[in-house]
Amino acid sequence: MSLINTHFDHTGDNFRFQNIACFDDNFEIENLNKGHSNQFCKTFMQPGSYRNLPSGFEPNEYKINPSKITKKLKHLDQLDIGERVLTIHHTPGHSPGSICIEDKEHCLLFTGDTYYRGTIFLHLPGSSYGKFVESCAYLNSLIPRIEALCPGHNECFAPKDDMTFLHEATNDVNLDQIKFDVNNESKLYQFEHFNLRLPLT
């Protein structure tokens, strides 16, 4: 089974799976149903934006095929994948159907695009900074039972304290205590291990 957050940078091989699970959100499901054209994909594949492409991969031909959802996920659903049971946490903000996945037995939280060390995008179609703030507060409440974070980008593991730092950062932004730079028609707030990119308005 492919278990997915639904932005295009995570869904390119979905069509290879017979069973695809997605949070039950119309915006996300419609994006998966239609896929993405090569013209769309090329805008994110400029020279320097990737490295070590596999032999035979041709950016000028690449597209993302449509995905057919076979399971719609709900908040706090339990998924038994054989050797472990996973808990689904709905964490909208980056996108309306964003999820984090908790492995309670091993005390791990897979944070997807809700948290990673790097620039977290909150300015995209479907993004909501208000929802993101709520999701960060919710995830921070889970931290006492978590030992490590498993982000969706850049690094496989991150200290669980990063989630508390993220929660505090969103509060500081809300209180207008953090300066930002205007970058690529968005506001960029910079912190020690991550950045938050918000819309200008």
Count the Cβ atoms, other than its own, within 10 Å of residue 174: 12
Please list the pLDDT of the chain residue by residue as tens digits (201 residues): 555 656 788 888 888 888 899 999 999 999 899 999 999 888 888 777 777 888 988 888 999 999 889 999 999 999 998 889 999 999 999 999 999 999 999 999 999 999 999 999 999 889 999 999 999 999 999 999 999 999 999 999 999 999 999 999 999 999 888 999 998 889 999 999 999 999 987
CATH number, domain 77-201: 3.60.15.10
The answer to whether the CB of 41 falls within 8 A of the CB of 63 is yes
Sheet of 85-90: strand order equals 78-80, 85-90, 99-103, 108-112, 148-151, 158-159
DSSP 16-49: G-S-EEEES-HHHHHHHHH-B-HHHHHTT--TTS
Stretch(es) of the chain classified as CATH 3.60.15.10: 77-201
